[in-house]
Amino acid sequence: MTDNTIHTPVLLERSVELLAPALSAPAAVLVDGTLGMAGHAEAFLQRFPDLTLVGIDRDEDALAIARRRLQPFAGRTHFVHAVYDKIPQALASLGFSKAQGIFFDLGVSSLQLDRIERGFSYSHDAPLDMRMDVSTPVTAEHILATYSELELRRIFYAYGDEKLAPRFASRIVQFREQQPLVTSAQLVELIIAATPAAAQRAGHPAKRVFQALRIEVNEELSVLESAIPAAIGSLAIGGRMVVLAYQSLEDRIVKRELQRRSRSTAPAGLPVELPEHAPELTLLVRGSEQASAAEQLTNPRAKPVRLRAIERMRVIS
């Protein structure tokens, strides 16, 4: 398996189309906040020959793959090992004040899912790791060993929308009193045993628990809540941002912040909107967009995606 065959970019052409007016500007800078294996980034660099890329990823394995893949564009690429809420710091460290484009492809990457030893998948036995950045200390094993039953129930509810959260949390605590919970196969077996037969017909019983653990390990939602404002603040006037989200919790955070900043702040009844009350952003798509049926058929990862996009119209002082 080569670097170029292990990842099919989602909504690639639509992302290029939406970002094109901003990326066509002379000496434009694009921040790919979730560089991954650089499928989207490669296309942006190919289509816009004057573009400079700042690629950010918390996963050093992904950055290594991206460096190899983007070697033909070596004069126009910068790679930063960081979490994507650090966009302002990444730009400043490279001498850039603002970016003309920002791109986010959220969630767990194809690389992380395909690397069985990372423990993201409930379909393969592996250590309960789930770290996107293996240099950080907290693993899924640590959470399952140290969180109280109440804390486990909370994350299963909040991050997995898991209706059986109390049952699963209780069983995990009972299990760990007898032996350590260290592999994904152990966790899957425990969850299946605790799931009523009727509920098992609605999909894999472990799916929501694994999602919740992954989000908690990587602090994904708290990072996203700070990343979207940070990204908007890093956009130049006329700059554009595209965000691809794959689950409702992510999309809700993105939607809330983009809609808030795309509304006028003028008091009700004001006859004329003053410039300082004008919206900071313009929404470029109505609501969110999904991948076409054809793309969903050929690229299963595209099925849950929701795309949102904005253009920055003014700076709020």
**What is the average pLDDT across 292-317?**
90
pLDDT-wise least confident of 7-11, 91-95, 209-213: 7-11
* 103 close to 31: Cβ distance less than 8 angstroms: yes
The H or E element spanning position 225 is helix 220-233
Residue 280 or residue 277, greater confidence: 280
Q: How confident is the model at residue 2 (pLDDT cuts 50, 70, 90)?
A: very low
**What is the average pLDDT across 189-211?**
89
Q: What percent of the chain has pLDDT over 70?
A: 91
Q: How many CB atoms lie within 10 A of CB 163?
A: 13
d(CA 279, CA 255): 15
Residue 57 is labelled as binding a ligand: yes
**What is the average pLDDT across 142-157?**
98
DSSP state of 105: E
Checking 157-161 for CB contacts under 8 A at 24+ apart, the result is 158/212, 159/211, 159/212, 159/215, 159/216, 159/221, 159/249, 160/208, 160/209, 160/211, 160/212, 161/208, 161/248
Residue 107 is labelled as binding a ligand: no
* Angstrom distances, CA of residue 139 to CA of 8, 93, 119, 133, 223: 28, 30, 10, 10, 17
**Topology (CATH) of 3-105+220-312:** Rossmann fold (3.40.50)
pTM of the model: 0.90
Position 120 pLDDT exceeds 90: no
Q: Give Cα 31 to chain centroid, integer Å.
A: 14
pLDDT of residue 119: 81
Token code pair at residue 204: 């894999």
Residue 54, classed as helix, strand or coil, is strand
Q: Do domains 3-105+220-312 and 116-218 have the same CATH topology?
A: no
Q: How confident is the model at residue 200 (pLDDT cuts 50, 70, 90)?
A: confident
Domain locations along the chain: 3-105+220-312, 116-218
d(CA 128, CA 150): 20
CA neighbor of 7 nearest in space, from 75, 122, 119, 108 = 108
d(CA 189, CA 20): 48
Evaluate whether the domain defined by 116-218 bears CATH number 1.10.150.170. Answer: yes
Residue 194 is labelled as binding a ligand: no
pLDDT of residue 197: 86
Residue 40 is labelled as binding a ligand: yes
Residue 247 or residue 110, greater confidence: 247
Residues 6 or more apart whose CB falls under 8 angstroms from that of 300 comprise none
CA-based angle 255:111:151, to the nearest 5?
60
CA neighbor of 134 nearest in space, from 224, 217, 227 = 217
Residue 251 is labelled as binding a ligand: no
**What is the average pLDDT across 141-158?**
97
Position 67 pLDDT exceeds 80: yes
**What is the average pLDDT across 274-293?**
87
Residue 33 is labelled as binding a ligand: no
pLDDT-wise least confident of 66-75, 140-149, 308-317: 308-317
Residue 84 is labelled as binding a ligand: yes
